[in-house]
Structure 1
Amino acid sequence: MYISNNQITIPDPDTIVWKYLDLSKFLDLLFCRQLFMSRSDKFEDQYEGTFSEPTFEEIKKISEHNRQFLDYYKSHRKNVVISSWHINEYESYAMWQIFTKNNEGLAIQSTIGRLQEALGPENRYDQHIGEVKYIDYKKEYIPFNDTFFPFLFKRKSFQYEREVRIISDLTEHHLNINEGVKANVDINQLIEKIYIHPKSENWYKNLVIQLMQQLGFDFKIEKSDLESDILI
């Protein structure tokens, strides 16, 4: 389902999204037919799933007479898992640089609508989709009337990510989550197109195609715009 709130942006179903990843993670996705979702407190950003200063001050006041209220938010992050996607009409040179190495890797192109359909009703985890809002954590307020809201706000320093997230709260499943979990997904619905790293060698491109075919997939592979010939 979509997360809705007047402070949360709900992407249009036709919004184009991307996931940049290395070959091993891509093959794991195809082989297992499951989408890996990272535990939220394992992200590089230490503020992940926390609150801005104005919100935290309000929470502290509430917790003066209810200590469990604050303890809940401190421990909640380890039960929330996230799959991050990048919103962009076009492929991003910056995302290639950040998420792939040695001129190798792939980008999955999809849409918000396809993500929603791919997750489907048969998944054992409830998934919610929302676009991240980037704010000043010293001045702006993060609502806490929904347990997902802290995971849909990030500091302005991360605006370049243009992130949309698939989020699951697994508290009720009582799982011992290490790095994350794998959620069932319809791979053919999830992936609309594949882009192979624009600076990769031909042998690498052929390897990716061959491995996909051996696993029974025939995704449309687009030529990267970054490979286009100059006109002069």
Structure 2
Amino acid sequence: MYINNPNIKLPNDPNTIVWKYLDLSKFLDLLLSQQLFMSRSDKFEDQYEGTFSEPTYEEIKKLSEHNPEFLKYYKSQREKVVVSSWHINEYESFAMWQIFTQNSEGLAIQSTIGRLQKALEVEQNYKQYIGEVNYIDYKKEYIPFDDLFFPFLFKRKSFQYEREIRIVSDVSELGLQIDNGLKVHVNINHLIEKIYIHPKSENWYKKLVIELVSKLGYDFVIEKSDLESDILI
């Protein structure tokens, strides 16, 4: 279920467009299971995920001098927080196609922040929060630690191109042992507004995606990437 947290930064307009770039197998898994995969926060490629900036870490160390469990708690928390990453952009991103799809058989889901919030209402086991990632200098800038989710909503400035929105969930209260991540139930029709096919894909691939989506009982708008539109001159 989606929970609003007033401490977490989010664009005011629920119609803000967000994207998820993924391959066909992950897309089909989403449709078949009607569940969205959320990765364990410490399994991302960026080793700084869920950690603190240097100024914040120094403050936490001082607080931990007489309470070592305080620091231990924050370190272990990374194993109990799961994340689904989305990209804010009014338009498609050539860079996102390059980074998040391995070949010409990738897809992009177009949604909005409001749709994400609505889609998560069907999940009853886990609480989800949605927040915009802040990009800072980890050597100089401070990450607040008065909210559990703040370490997972800050990244280094070198990742600023991602313009990331995150669905975040903390499962520590449930006592679960998470390997790589977990799946949460979503309403697919709320989640997905449009599907875009990889700009370098062949026509047969677009037809295949349309046929598969139709056979699974969905009627999303499916379009070829705008990056592959006809040249006018």
TM-score range, shorter chain: over 0.9
Q: Give 1:227 deviation, angstroms.
A: 1.6
**Counterparts of residues 47-86 of structure 1 (less than 5 Å):** 47-86=48-87
Q: For structure 2, which runs of at least 5 residues remain unmatched after alignment? A: none
Partners of 1:172 and 1:221 lie apart in 2 by: 40
Does residue 195 of the first structure (1) align with residue 202 of the second (2)?
Answer: no
1:60 & 1:41 partners in 2: Cα distance?
A: 21
**In the TM superposition, what whole-angstrom CA distance separates every residue of 1:110-166 from its partner, at most 9, and x where no partner exists?**
000000000005431000000000000000000000110000000001001000000
CA contact (8 A) 1:3 1:10 kept: no
Question: In structure 1, what is the equivalent of residue 209 of structure 2?
Answer: 208
Q: 1:10 corresponds to which residue?
A: 10
Residue type of the partner of 2:114? G
For 1:186 and 1:109, how far apart are their aligned partners in 2? Answer: 15
Q: Secondary structure at the match of 2:56?
A: helix
RMSD, aligned α-carbons: 1.0
Partner of 1:118: 119
The separation in 2 between residues aligned to 1:206 and 1:77, in whole angstroms, is 41
Percent identical pairs in the alignment equals 77
Counterpart contact for 2:9–2:131, Cα < 8 Å: yes
Give CA-to-partner distance per residue, 1:78-102, whole Å, 9 cap, x none.
0000000000000001100011122
Q: Is the 8 A contact 2:194 2:222 kept in 1?
A: yes
- Alignment TM-score, normalising by the size of structure 1: 0.97
Matched ranges for 1:15-34 at <5 A: 15-34=16-35
SS in 2 for 1:120: helix
Structure 2 residue 141 is the aligned partner of structure 1 residue 147: no
Deviations 1:40-66 (A, max 9, x none): 000000000000000000000000011
SS of 2:14's equivalent in the other structure is coil
TM-score for both structures, normalised by structure 2: 0.96
User: What SS class does the counterpart of residue 60 from structure 1 fall into?
Assistant: helix
What secondary structure, in the 3-state scheme, does the structure 2 residue paired with 1:94 have? helix
Partner of 1:142, secondary structure, is coil
Q: Which amino acid aligns with 1:47?
A: Y
Task: Quote the Cα distance in structure 2 between the aligned partners of 1:14 and 1:2.
Answer: 16
- Aligned to 2:165, the other structure's residue is in SS state strand
The SS at the match of 2:131 is strand
What is the CA–CA distance in structure 2 between the aligned matches of 1:150 and 1:98, rounded to whole Å?
24
Q: Distance in 2 between matches of 1:101 and 1:231?
A: 29
Task: Give the secondary structure class of the aligned counterpart of 2:52.
Answer: coil
CA displacement at 1:226 relative to structure 2? 0.8
